[in-house]
Amino acid sequence: MARHASRARRHVRLFRLRFRSLDKLSWIADDLFRNDRSRDSMLTGGCYCRAIRYEIHSTPFGTTLCHCATCRKVSAAPAVAWFSVSKDGLRWIQGTPKTFESSPGVLRAFCGQCGTPLAYANAESPDVVDVSTCSLDEPGEVPPATHTWIKYRLTWDRTADGLPEYAEAG
């Protein structure tokens, strides 16, 4: 009997320990939940026609305005703003982008329906993907910090060149 009793006490102790760890777990869960809610400010984006949508779940880095000739041609724009995220940080949540190899080892993703350039992956950096800043719903939140490939910059593509500026169509 004594043995059973001590076993029972041990069980109670174990139960309490478990309960306490469960309590701890619920705190951790609360923390996770809070973190989850803080993702309300997560970046979202997609193509013009909304066939393709994505979410960004990690911190952008390497924000840049790229003046390379390939970005210019595939986007038909003088320069293209990009930011980088870890590969796991980009989640396609609607539709599947089309891809093509713009140069050896480089895949570019775009909407097969409306053509919006969306992402860039280089085999030399397999853990990183670049996302076109202006495919974001709020591109103003991720301003470029640098200009890259300026040796290809168009001569007429100048900032602060004195030309009139219009908020909307001039």
Which residues are at the interface with Zn ion (CB under 5 A)? 47, 49, 51, 66, 68, 71, 111, 113-114
Question: Is the Cβ–Cβ distance between 68 and 150 less than 8 Å?
Answer: no
Cβ at position 38, least distance to Zn ion in Å: 29
Cβ at position 167, least distance to Zn ion in Å: 26
CA distance readout (Å), 135 to 139, 142, 166: 7, 11, 22
Q: Smallest Cα–Cα separation from 86: which of 49, 57, 65?
A: 57
Q: Smallest Cα–Cα separation from 156: which of 82, 80, 78, 81?
A: 78
| CB-nearer residue toward Zn ion: 14 or 114 | 114
| CB-nearer residue toward Zn ion: 63 or 113 | 113
HSE-up of residue 95 (Cα within 13 Å, Cβ side): 21
| CB-nearer residue toward Zn ion: 57 or 98 | 98
Question: Is the Cβ–Cβ distance between 52 and 92 less than 8 Å?
Answer: yes
| CB-nearer residue toward Zn ion: 57 or 74 | 74
Angle at 92 between CA 87 and CA 95, to 5 degrees: 145
| CB-nearer residue toward Zn ion: 51 or 77 | 51
